[in-house]
Structure 1
Amino acid sequence: MAKDTVYSLDQVQLHNREGDLWLVVNGNVYDLSKFTELHPGGAGLLLAKEVAGQDATEAFFSLHRSDVLTKYDRLRIGRLAPDSDSASASATGDKSKAAPTLKKRKEYLLPVVGELSPVPHAEPDWLHPKLFSPYYRSSHHELRKSMREFFDSRVRDEAQEFELSGERPTKALVDLMGRKEWDIHAMRMGPGRHLHGKTLPGGVKGEDFDYFHELVVVQEMCRIGAPGYMAGLQAGMVIGLPPCLNFGDEKMRQKVLPDIFAGKKFISLAISEPHAGSDVQGIQTTATLSDDKKYWTVEGSKKWITNGHFSDYFMTAVRTGPKSLSMMLIERDDNVETKKIKTSYSASAGTAYVFFDKVKVPVENVLGGEGNGLKVILSNFNHERWVICCRIARYNRLIYEETFKWAHLRMSAGKRLIDNAVVRAKFAKMIAKVDAGQTWLEHITYQMTKLSYAEQSQALAGPMALLKYYLARCGREISDDAVQIWGGRGITQGGMGRLIEQHQRTFHFDTLLGGADEVLADLGVRQASKRMPLASL
């Protein structure tokens, strides 16, 4: 049967039994005759009198996400007629027959690959067609279009599948992201000379790439959900490669950068240890200089290292003396062992222990000079925390969007969830948090475009810490409200509420990564206190 055949509802209703079962969803006619026994919810649901041979649109969307329609498109056989005449003429060839005219047929607006969401507040205000922003130029919009099409069409399906299975991102996808027509790995490192001379997606010139372009890339990635999988997609590079970019010599840069930007190799940031999480000064991994002063011998272990299980390089903090902390690049060899750690993140992230057993590291692999490890680490924190802020802000908005759509679909006690004042009050809080968080993020991002790396460390360390604290706390509250609105579906892997379940299981990472909430809140206040002049009341 041709998929463009048009049927009347009368014709569909003739097929309402086991072995001969049709139904309508969102204006399309599906033949489920051979699918009934394969239906995950059992045959009984499909054979119910309200479903078999009927327009089951409302029933379908109360139980399924719209991507199920794409998955089973092979079962679609045609369209439901908008009026009786077109139905009779197309399906039967007899223009003298006429089915009753259909009235008040519901059709739900479905997501379109690469397009903006029509849900109010589902997109940041700078993407609203009738609103304005002083921060974004046409190049930001063009890059956004390219990134959305890429992640919607090439990443989303794999991300959602592997988030559950725990598989790492496929080599084919990582390689694709590294090709020069996309250069996504390189863009995720932010503005810099590594982009100069390149023409990036959307026609953006590498020299013009700024922090708002980077924000666009990060937030478009996050729209697809799957936080554990997304961490596996070179998150270790985002936090582990900056020391090489900012402190490595040209020889190191020439050796390391091309393979990582091409997706051929992975790098991790290896600082946290079993006995030293946020306490950098408590690091116990040691490095001993050889008698000929040509290499260091490293011994010790690291824990909770993102991408560590499959990394080729480790940007590692080590103790080179009782009071000397150094940062060095360690290449994986037979004396480096990694072991996966099970966390609430998907195993796709490759979170791992890393064990160094008398690993020899050339002296030229020390970044920033011996004893300057803390300087290298601290210089990296601002950008790391800013990237985390970009991510949290977009995940929070995604959870709001999913929940807002659900509240308009879900019927309870004869009315939609959105028709309850207590539910609307929860959305008022969500909207205020996601829009306020994005606005603060964009303000700090603008300051970053005007300040040097050193100036950012001086002026933005406190505000950045407070922003991350605020967004992470908002994420916690948004997740709690979303789960209450979704009910059981909000704590069920897969299915309607899969993105909600992912978020409520993983938002704690953002309250810890880059500095625990309480530590960053205190840092923000201490930074403000340092600038406090003498004053009287």
Structure 2
Amino acid sequence: MQSSASPTLNLGFPRIEPPWLMGLPTPIYQETHRKWQAAIRAFIEKHLLAHAEEWERAETVPAHVFDEFAAAGMLIPALPAPLPVAWLKRLGFHELLGGLPVEDFDYLHAVIYADEMARSGLAGPPGSLTTGMAFGVPPIIKFGSKELQERFLPELLRGQKRSCIAITEPDAGSDVANITTTAVKSKDGKHYIINGTKKWITNGIWTDYASMAVRTGPEGSGPAGLSLMVVPLKDYPGVSMRRLKVAGQISAGTTYIELDDVRVPVENLIGTEGMGMRYIMTNFNHERLSIAVGATRTSRVALAAAFEHVLKREAFGKPLMDQPVVRHRLAKAGALLESQWAWVEQFAYQMTRMPKEDADRELGGLTAMLKAQAGIVLKECADTAVLLFGGNGYTRSGQGALAEMIYREVPGARIPGGSEDVMMDLGVRQLVKIYKAKTQALDSAASSKL
């Protein structure tokens, strides 16, 4: 029997799997991670990947797929690690698929899950299933009152109701502090009256509840005036929604939401008024890491498809792979891809070894850069695939159709979750902030000894 230390070499096309799944040694993954990957791959292939392209072309994933994932507990791994163990056990979730105890789930398990879910190369189908659980539910878990959690978490964690995160507005994307959707208390103090719009909200169209960013402070209060609250959406008075047709990940249900005097109980406030910006930024770390993992796998799918094509396609009397310029393109994209994946793995490993408070502080800026770099790498790999497929890569059917679909996915990695340029700037500013804080702490310590 093959040991976990030296798995059988995978003879698939080059770049088709990350190195640890191609049989190369790794110090990062343990037996628990290998068992988890093997267990979830079979389920995801059957219930998602086999139909992902079909559903993306149809622009909607059938509702029964969400129910199948919920029934198997396969939405829960979209949550950030560590999982809310007490809540999950109370609801009957003691183990995840393959027998993984919920208390043993770490960020490497989470990365494996996100990587496996993205193996179609398309962000829409997995995004239609997991976005709400990944980004809408965590603020309730982390910051919600006990009463708020009791009202919403049982149905959301079981997948009986759906959630989303609603932050972006027509005039407030990466500039979260510019949010203008208002939440003003009613005269009797029992409700918030919400007015405004939200745009590019993934999953919104079929969502029951949104964890929504609103302005509870006066105009001009900036980030200090922001709050988060649970806002009912589907069939709720004053809420109207329509789907937006975006270039890629169409089946994820990008939505435009209008809120006209929407009455929400004050008990739906998440945490404390005015703390919304802090809650949002904490939530962004998981979102950006998830996007980075998915975009990196999509890069891998594009490059593997290109390898397969040039090994069998002939031009000028010989295989494309015999052309030096083709090999150069594959080498350049491949080097970027494997460097990016190594960074993802390193990042996840660090998160399994650091206290959460330290990780939030030390890795927040790096998460932003990791996400931004993932989009840059995806663009290079998608360009490579389309160019090497030639006319077929520019056609929405036939042998290059997947490369064409992935090419349309690129902006969906570079813009949502914080646009690329803003993320790069944020990363550097955070590094400088940490440096100054540590320098000040050293100076203070030295002064106290004098």
Scaled by the length of structure 1, the TM-score of the pair is: 0.75
Quote the offset at 1:529 in angstroms: 2.1
Please, which of 387, 392, 409 is the counterpart of residue 506 of structure 1? 409
Residues 308 and 351 in structure 1, CA contact (< 8 A), matched pair in contact too: yes
Cα deviation code 1:137-168 (max 9, x no counterpart): 1121111112211122221232111111112x
Structure 1 counterpart of 2:169, which letter? E
Please, which of 223, 232, 254 is the counterpart of residue 331 of structure 1? 232
Structure 2 counterpart of 1:187, which letter? P
Q: What's 2:79 paired with?
A: 189
Measure the CA separation in 2 of the matches of 1:159 and 1:127.
22
Matched, 1:424 2:327: yes
Residues 227 and 502 in structure 1, CA contact (< 8 A), matched pair in contact too: no
Structure 1 counterpart of 2:138, which letter? P
Structure 2 counterpart of 1:193, which letter? P
Please, which of 106, 112, 122 is the counterpart of residue 16 of structure 2? 122
Quote the offset at 1:248 in angstroms: 1.3
Q: What's 2:189 paired with?
A: 293
Residues 139 and 203 in structure 1, CA contact (< 8 A), matched pair in contact too: no
Cα 1:175–1:428 change in 2 (3 A) is: same
Residues 164 and 346 in structure 1, CA contact (< 8 A), matched pair in contact too: no
Matched, 1:399 2:302: yes
Q: Which structure features the higher share of helix residues?
A: 2
Matched, 1:134 2:27: yes
Measure the CA separation in 2 of the matches of 1:350 and 1:315.
17
Q: Secondary structure at the match of 2:311?
A: helix
Structure 2 counterpart of 1:326, which letter? S
Measure the CA separation in 2 of the matches of 1:515 and 1:485.
30
- State the superposition RMSD in angstroms: 1.8
Measure the CA separation in 1 of the matches of 2:148 and 2:156.
12
1:120-519 equivalence runs, <5 A: 120-129=14-23, 131-167=24-60, 169-179=61-71, 182-190=72-80, 191-194=82-85, 195-196=88-89, 198-322=94-218, 323=221, 324-332=225-233, 333-519=236-422
Measure the CA separation in 2 of the matches of 1:227 and 1:383.
16
Residues 303 and 384 in structure 2, CA contact (< 8 A), matched pair in contact too: no
1:24-103 equivalence runs, <5 A: none
Q: Secondary structure at the match of 2:301?
A: helix
Q: What's 1:27 paired with?
A: none
Cα deviation code 1:8-48 (max 9, x no counterpart): xxxxxxxxxxxxxxxxxxxxxxxxxxxxxxxxxxxxxxxxx
Quote the offset at 1:175 in angstroms: 1.0
Measure the CA separation in 2 of the matches of 1:377 and 1:385.
12
Measure the CA separation in 2 of the matches of 1:493 and 1:150.
28
Q: Secondary structure at the match of 2:155?
A: helix
Quote the offset at 1:116 in angstroms: 6.0
Count of aligned pairs between the two proteins: 416
Measure the CA separation in 1 of the matches of 2:313 and 2:200.
39
Measure the CA separation in 2 of the matches of 1:144 and 1:442.
15
Residues 312 and 319 in structure 2, CA contact (< 8 A), matched pair in contact too: yes
Cα 1:117–1:364 change in 2 (3 A) is: farther
Structure 2 counterpart of 1:127, which letter? L
Measure the CA separation in 1 of the matches of 2:151 and 2:306.
46
Quote the offset at 1:174 in angstroms: 1.0
Quote the offset at 1:383 in angstroms: 0.8
Cα 1:457–1:268 change in 2 (3 A) is: same
Structure 2 counterpart of 1:192, which letter? L
Residues 175 and 262 in structure 1, CA contact (< 8 A), matched pair in contact too: no
Structure 2 counterpart of 1:441, which letter? V
Quote the offset at 1:230 in angstroms: 2.5
Cα deviation code 1:232-280 (max 9, x no counterpart): 2232331211101101123332332332333332211111111211111
Q: What's 1:106 paired with?
A: none
Structure 1 counterpart of 2:120, which letter? I
Measure the CA separation in 2 of the matches of 1:264 and 1:415.
56
Scaled by the length of structure 2, the TM-score of the pair is: 0.89
Measure the CA separation in 1 of the matches of 2:53 and 2:14.
24
Quote the offset at 1:225 in angstroms: 2.4
Quote the offset at 1:346 in angstroms: 4.3
Larger Rg: 1
Q: Which runs of 5+ in 2 are unaligned?
A: 1-8, 440-450
Structure 1 counterpart of 2:361, which letter? Q
Q: What's 1:29 paired with?
A: none
Q: Secondary structure at the match of 1:377?
A: helix
Structure 2 counterpart of 1:405, which letter? E
Residues 121 and 302 in structure 2, CA contact (< 8 A), matched pair in contact too: no
Structure 1 counterpart of 2:230, which letter? L
Deviates more, 1:314-323 or 1:233-242: 233-242
